[in-house]
Amino acid sequence: MGRWSALHVHLHAGSECTETVLREHIVPATTDLLARGEISSWFFVRYWEGGPHLRWRVADATPETVRRMRAGLVEAVAALPPPARELRPADWYAKFGVNDSDSTDQVGVGHGIGGGPDLDWQPHGTVLEQPYRAEVDRYGGPDAIGAAEELFAASSRVAAALLGAPPARRRSTAVDLLFGFLTASGLAAHEAVRFLRGYANTWTLVPEAHGQDLGLALIAAERDFHADESAYPARQRLIADIVTRRKGASTSVNYWADEVAAYVERLRTLDGQGRLHATIPGVLASQLHMLHNRLGLSIPAECHLAWLASLAYGAPAGAPDFHLDGIDAPDRAYHERSKFVRTRWPNQRPRTVELASDRPSPTIPPGTETLTLPEPTPGALADTTLAEVLLGRRTRYDFGRGEADVVDLGRLLRYAAGDTAPPGSGQRRLAYPTPGALATTRLLVLPRRVASVRAALYEYLPERHALQRVAPDPGTDRLSRVAPQFAPAGAGRTAGSDAVVDSGGLDAEAVPLWVFVVADLRRARARYGLRGYRFSAMETGHLAQNLLLAATAIGLSAAPLGGFFDDELNHLLLLDGLDSSVFYALTLG
């Protein structure tokens, strides 16, 4: 592409004002400029830094053309009603968890990571000419940015065509555009599910989603999908057929899919030549967000759409009654098919997969918050016999309101899940059985009231006896929804051993420490095929029992939880629920 020019117009009067400026001025003006040959391409972006604004970018414009563009834009905005009330920087930036004195592109938002100039706060109606700084690294490097800008133009054209459409049509078209995007990307169904759920999960980690309960987007998606479980899978198949068989057709979905297919082919070529400096899924996720940005979708709407599409790809056809008790019940069918059979053994024989002991210790990315846990002495464990622990284990909910001890946390994880190989041996051994030495299970730890530990979601690293931060504390509201046993947030329940005193449920706020046992189903499947799922369930059970017995010996109350809403908890833990899924949750204190 040629040299780019950019105008930023700051609009504080809400989304309707932004849509009006796009529909009634920017799109018609751009169409005219293209027709007269004054520009060769264009795209726009909705942005937040310096106050909410649009970025209008055009290629190969002369300085005189840019001057006229700016004058026309100033006049168009001046003719609109002013905002009902002044937008204050502090209020605006608080939405993103950013101080107004810290408002630069470097905070790491969805469509501005490291890109664009640092902007001061601008009042409503301000129109500035700004230099265009391409996000080269994000889109694969210098050899890939030109193709990325071509797709920016394509998604801008698609979004512009929908500006005057009724909300229902815009929503339905957004679904079709997503299905077209995934088909054109060449993703198989399981790859699409993995991509979409990873896309939805990642939003938890960016400042733009600060303070937003994205778990509600998943709940809404499940509600919409299960209202008619055949509708969205049928729509996905229809769109896949249309964009595959009708290449070059004039519909927005066909045009978009054709452009995406050409773009993906270019990325694969660059990747094969070693000239792509990012992953293809990562680049595609950024491009998908840019489409959604131009369509005016909020972050919860993006997550809702991603989950809805993932359900369309991942739902089994003709789901039977959950409690079906016939020979064709899914659990019986799976159990039969996963049995080892002598006559089928040559095809069932486990395949070679890298053992846990052969895998290098994970590299912790620079800047990642890591907490090395105290190397424990046995403490109460040394004074308790195995018989006493086995006989004394009870499901207990009497967590109290105090803090748990970081020393007890270190003991719990070290003895139940730690690496038990002799120091300096170069080996890796675990404190629980793992099929085929694969170590397909890991722990995610959420200390919410543990002394000297910041409340956040961590992964336990047994080879380092350390916690590595994964995500912020999801909060009581989301935790209280993950299982029907929990009371609504703030309900304030108390309970004794093995009993729920108040029929309203358990109080998630009262739990100081959560531990989640996660299975790597993809790795188990790679070695054991259908049998892998059974082995994963066994391994997570071994580890969970270790945790419960260690908690008993230490003197911690512990209550295991298996009846949770799977994808709600997976989403909270940033798991896709397809290849990596939570099997067990333990509440401790």
pLDDT in tens, 413-450: 999 999 988 877 777 789 999 999 889 999 999 999 99
Confidence tier at 271 by pLDDT (50, 70, 90):
very high
Q: What is the pLDDT of residues 11-23, one digit of tens each?
A: 999 999 999 999 9
Give the model's confidence band at 381: pLDDT under 50 very low, under 70 low, under 90 confident, else very high: confident
Cβ contact 297:174 at 8 Å:
yes
Q: Which of 56-65, 174-183, 396-405 has the lowest mean pLDDT?
A: 396-405
User: What per-residue confidence (pLDDT) applies to 238?
Assistant: 96
Query: What does the alpha-carbon distance between residue 258 and residue 265 come to, in Å, rounded to a whole number?
Result: 11
Question: What domains are there in the chain, each with its CATH number?
Answer: 1-101+109-133 (3.30.70), 160-319 (no CATH), 330-487+505-588 (3.40.109.10)
Q: How many helices (DSSP H) and strands (DSSP E) are in the chain?
A: 20, 11
Q: Is the model's pLDDT at 174 over the cut of 50?
A: yes
Tell me, what's the pLDDT at 359? Answer: 55
Mean pLDDT across the chain: 90
pLDDT band at 96 (very low <50, low <70, confident <90, very high): confident
Quick check: helix, strand or coil at residue 572?
Answer: helix
Rounded to whole angstroms, the Cα distance separating 582 from 322 reads 20
How sure is the predictor about 345, in pLDDT bands with cuts at 50, 70 and 90?
very high
pLDDT in tens, 326-338: 998 999 999 999 9
Task: Please indicate whether residue 322 or residue 446 has the higher confidence score (pLDDT).
Answer: 446
Q: How many other C-beta atoms are found inside a 10 Å radius of the C-beta of residue 118?
A: 10
Q: How confident is the model at residue 104 (pLDDT cuts 50, 70, 90)?
A: very low
Q: What angle do CA 187, 191, 192 make, to 5 degrees?
A: 70
3-class secondary structure, 458: strand
pLDDT of residue 304: 98
Inform me whether the pLDDT recorded for 357 exceeds 80: no
- The pLDDT, as a whole number, for residue 94 is 83
Any idea which residue has 């509708």 for tokens? 231
**pLDDT confidence bin for 401, thresholds 50/70/90:** confident
Q: What is the mean pLDDT of residues 229-241?
A: 96
In this prediction, residues 291-303 reach a mean pLDDT of 96
Work out the average pLDDT over 248-269.
Answer: 95
Residue 113 burial by CB count (10 A; 0-12/13-18/19+): exposed, middle or buried? middle
The pTM of this model reads 0.90
44 and 111 in contact (C-beta within 8 Å)? no
Residue matched to tokens 């067990």: 584
Neighbour count for residue 367 (Cβ, 10 Å): 6
What mean pLDDT do residues 525-536 have?
96
Does residue 490 register a pLDDT over 80?
no
Print burial letters for 340-359: b (CB count within 10 Å at least 16), e (below 16).
eeeeeeeebeeeebeebeee
Q: What gap in Å lies between CA 504 and CA 510, rounded to an integer?
A: 14
469 touches 437 (CB < 8 A): no
CA angle 109, 77, 112 (to 5 degrees): 10
Residue 274 has pLDDT above 80, yes or no: yes
Over residues 547-578, the pLDDT tens digits come to: 999 999 999 999 999 999 999 999 999 999 99
Residue 364 has pLDDT above 70, yes or no: no
Tell me the β-bridge partners of 56: 7, 44
pLDDT of amino acid 117: 36
Per-residue pLDDT, averaged over 341-351, amounts to 95
pLDDT band for 582, please (50, 70, 90 cuts): very high
Examine the pLDDT at 75 and tell me if it is beyond 50.
yes
Q: What is the pLDDT of residues 278-291, one digit of tens each?
A: 999 999 999 999 99
